[in-house]
Chain A
Amino acid sequence: AAGVIQSPRHLIKEKRETATLKCYPIPRHDTVYWYQQGPGQDPQFLISFYEKMQSDKGSIPDRFSAQQFSDYHSELNMSSLELGDSALYFCASSPGTSGGHTYEQYFGPGTRLTVT
């Protein structure tokens, strides 16, 4: 079965550089989420998109922006990178909700960003 695809898997950047992370959700999933997981920490929700519109926003810095495109893939753009941005960035997709039931989020393998 198709899974969530994230690219690149690993990324090394220097301070003040920019980075773009890409996510390709599972086909027919209408919702995409981005999470940031620092070393030894639980994932922190950044932002989500439902049917290409931003649906929720979490602890995403102003230096970061994201969007979902017409083919449902999503990109997380990160500018003026700081050392503290080093983390594992997960994208997850979900088929959404129906009748009050919540559906599981399927995670991609993550992009490990290292800022030096």
Chain B
Amino acid sequence: AQKITQTQPGMFVQEKEAVTLDCTYDTSDQSYGLFWYKQPSSGEMIFLIYQGSYDEQNATEGRYSLNFQKARKSANLVISASQLGDSAMYFCAMREASRAGNNRKLIWGLGTSLAVNP
């Protein structure tokens, strides 16, 4: 069965410092995608970054980068130069590609609550 594990229920970081949010996954598929979403207290779910299982380079999007270690089945999110507005819940999720094209749901971790201190 597919599973996402986020072992850090809560994290603190000082403003302007970098922080790494852990995510490990389990899947038997060879083709899959890994996602990070941010959920502020207002509730919306904001897409941050995506890493495909066949992508050879780590994904980057502005201050977000994904440290993808396929052999270890980990996909940690690195946020550089933290800002107060980064305080939110962060979810790691995985979507498996199906050749039939009809099994595309996201499987979620339990999330990590990040607090950025001034």
Contacts and interface: CB of A to CB of B under 8 A. Distances in A.
A48 B52 CA distance: 21
Interface in A89-116: 90, 92, 94, 96-97, 100-107, 109-110, 112
Interface in A49-99: 50, 55-56, 58, 88, 90, 92, 94, 96-97
Contacts of B16: none
Contact of B102 (A43, A55, A104, A106): A55
Which of the listed residues B33, B101, B106 has the most CB atoms from chain A within 10 Å of its own CB? B106
Contacts of B96: 102
Interface in B92-118: 95-97, 99, 101-111
Contacts, number: 80
Interface residues of B, number: 29
Contact of A33 (B31, B99, B106): B106
Interface in B46-94: 46-47, 50, 52, 54, 91
B37 A107 contact: yes
A37 to B, nearest CB: 8
Interface of B: 31-33, 35, 37, 43-47, 50, 52, 54, 91, 95-97, 99, 101-111
Interface of A: 31, 33, 35, 41-45, 48, 50, 55-56, 58, 88, 90, 92, 94, 96-97, 100-107, 109-110, 112
